[in-house]
Each structure stands twice: as C-alpha cells, then as structure tokens.
Amino acid sequence: MPDLSGKVAWVTGSSTGIGAACALALAREGCRVAVHYNRSGEEARRVVQKIEGSGGEALLVRGDVSDAAEVGRMAAEVEDRFGGLDFLVNNAGGLLERRPFSEMTEELWERVMEVNLKSVFLVSRAALPLMRRRGGGRIVNVTSIAARTGGGPGSSAYASAKGGVSTLTRAMAKELVSENILVNGVAPGVIATPFHDRYTPPEVRERLRRGIPIGREGTPEEVAGVVVFLLSPAADYLVGEIVEVNGGQLMD
C-alpha cells in the first residue's frame, strides 16, 4: 500500500465495524487520524489506543454528525490538533431499526435521513475549508448495496438515504474536482459488523450469505482496503466512482 505519512484523516463513525477498520488501516499507512464517535465511547477509545500503541497519532472526537453546531465544533478540534485535513471518510450511519414501509413513522424516517444523508452534507461542508487550506483533499462516502437494491426487509428509509448518499457523492465530485478535492464512494454489501449483529436475524443473514457468489460475508478490513486505495495516489484519476464491495452479490 502507498505511504500516506503525515496526512490527516477524519473517519466518522469509527468506533466499530467498517469505520474502526478504516481508522486503523489509515493509521498503518502513516495517517494521523481523528477517530469519531457519538455514543460508543469505550469502543472508540480502544481504537485510539490501538493506533497509539502502534506508534501512530490519533485524536478522539465526539459529537452528533447530524447537528451542524456539533459538526463545526468537531472540525475545529481536528484543525486545532492537526492544522488541517487531507482525507474525510463519511462512514457514520445506521439502520436504526427495521420497520415495514406501511408502519414507517415520519419521526423515524427523518432520523434515518439525518444520520445517514444529512450527516454527509454537514461533515463534508465543514471539512472543505480545512482541505482548501491544504490545496485539496479527498472524500470517500460510505453508501451501501441497499442504495441500488432497495435493501432488505424493513429498510426502506435506510436504502433511500443511502441512495441519496450515492447521488450526493457524484454531485460533490463534479463540483469539487476543480478545487483538487476528489470525491468517491464505496458501497459495502453484507459485511460482518455489529450492524448485522444488531439488525439482521440469523436466518435472514444466512439467506443473504447464500446469495453471495464468493460464498461468505465480507470483512470490515476488506472495505477499509478499498477506502485506503481511494484516498491514495493510485486513485488520482478516479472521480465520482462508487466501488461495490459485495463479493459478487451485485454486478454491473
């Protein structure tokens, strides 16, 4: 993998799962990493400890990524500590709960949109001044296979929000490329994370696994590897791409 020594990366939702794997992978490549969490403080501190224990540098930031004031405060903390920002990974999000469309409430719909879609807008907007002062940067938005398939049972709001993330990724890419800020996305399939432990019943999970040509769930580290690639010089000519990481479950 390329040497990203000295680069500053902010990974939202990096206390567990894909976000934690991204934070650790970027630290291994030499990045100074802002590890973000909202509620999972103990897990986030363990990520920071792993980074620091391996000789890396990490900053722990806490806040609600769907709240503009908190996002602004976190961006200021990143800039105060590291002096700027090179990479942003918009990973924070979640299903919140599975609920059939016919039983969806306006409150749940709006909260899913805030956590998964509004957060990408708010954090990216806050990151832009920090990247501009560096002369450019890179953003990777984590969307989902659900953005194209409509998602599994009870995930209409989540799938819709992730569809918005995919579209926003392309819109951002078009607007920001002239400022040397390259925006791409990664769309995980069925990945072995606390997400599925929490929201996907074992029988549903097994049915999904059987539909994956490679024959297994993916790992957070496999998604993180793609994220690191998109942030590296090897991806200098990629703009507005969304890389599907799903073991062949969905093919173009």
Per-residue pLDDT reduced to its tens digit, 152-198 = 889 999 999 999 999 999 999 999 999 999 999 999 999 998 777 77
Average pLDDT over residues 1-11: 88
C-alpha span between 15 and 248 (Å, rounded):
28
C-alpha pair distances (Å), 251 with each of 140, 187, 238: 21, 12, 19
Per-residue pLDDT reduced to its tens digit, 20-64 = 999 999 999 999 999 999 999 999 999 999 999 999 999 999 999
- Give catalytic residue positions: 158
Domains of the chain: 8-241 (3.40.50.720)
C-alpha span between 97 and 75 (Å, rounded):
29
C-alpha span between 176 and 212 (Å, rounded):
35
Average pLDDT over residues 89-107: 96
β-partners of residue 62 are 37
pLDDT at 1 over 60: no
